[in-house]
């Protein structure tokens, strides 16, 4: 392997501070790298099994975009009391011109 000398020096100092060696750091890194995919696949499989075995079902209902956006909402132009100016002195918002309620 070809590694820049300044990098080797910095890593040796890091290793010394952490009571290990350059070889130990490389070995640990390569071991983690080699086992990462297996651990991630095992975690995904475990999550799938848990979701399939779960008995906590609310219903067969699913989200429906049309129903979500078709729900009635209070519109501010239809309900001026939602604007913050309903009560005199009741809001911290300012009206045009710099004055407050």
pLDDT recorded at residue 97:
52
How many Å apart are CA 31 and CA 27, to the nearest integer?
6
- Better pLDDT: 68 or 1: 1
pLDDT recorded at residue 52:
83
The answer to whether the pTM exceeds 0.75 is no
Q: Are 85 and 91 in contact (CB under 8 A)?
A: yes
Enumerate the domain spans of the chain. Answer: 1-51
Coil, strand or helix at 98: coil
Taking residue 22's Cβ as centre, other Cβ atoms within 10 Å add up to 14
CA-to-CA dists, residue 3 to 6, 8, 10, 24, angstroms: 9, 7, 11, 16
């Amino acid at each position: 392997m070809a590694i820049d000398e300044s990098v080797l020096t910095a890593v040796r100092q890091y290793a010394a501070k952490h009571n290990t060696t350059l070889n130990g750091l490389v070995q640990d890194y390569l071991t983690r790298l080699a086992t990462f995919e297996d651990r991630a696949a095992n975690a995904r499989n475990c999550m799938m099994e848990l979701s399939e075995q779960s008995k906590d079902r609310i219903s067969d209902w699913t989200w429906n975009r049309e129903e979500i956006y078709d729900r009635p909402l209070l519109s501010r132009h239809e309900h001026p009391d939602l604007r913050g100016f309903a009560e005199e002195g009741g809001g911290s918002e300012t009206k045009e011109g710099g004055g407050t309620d």
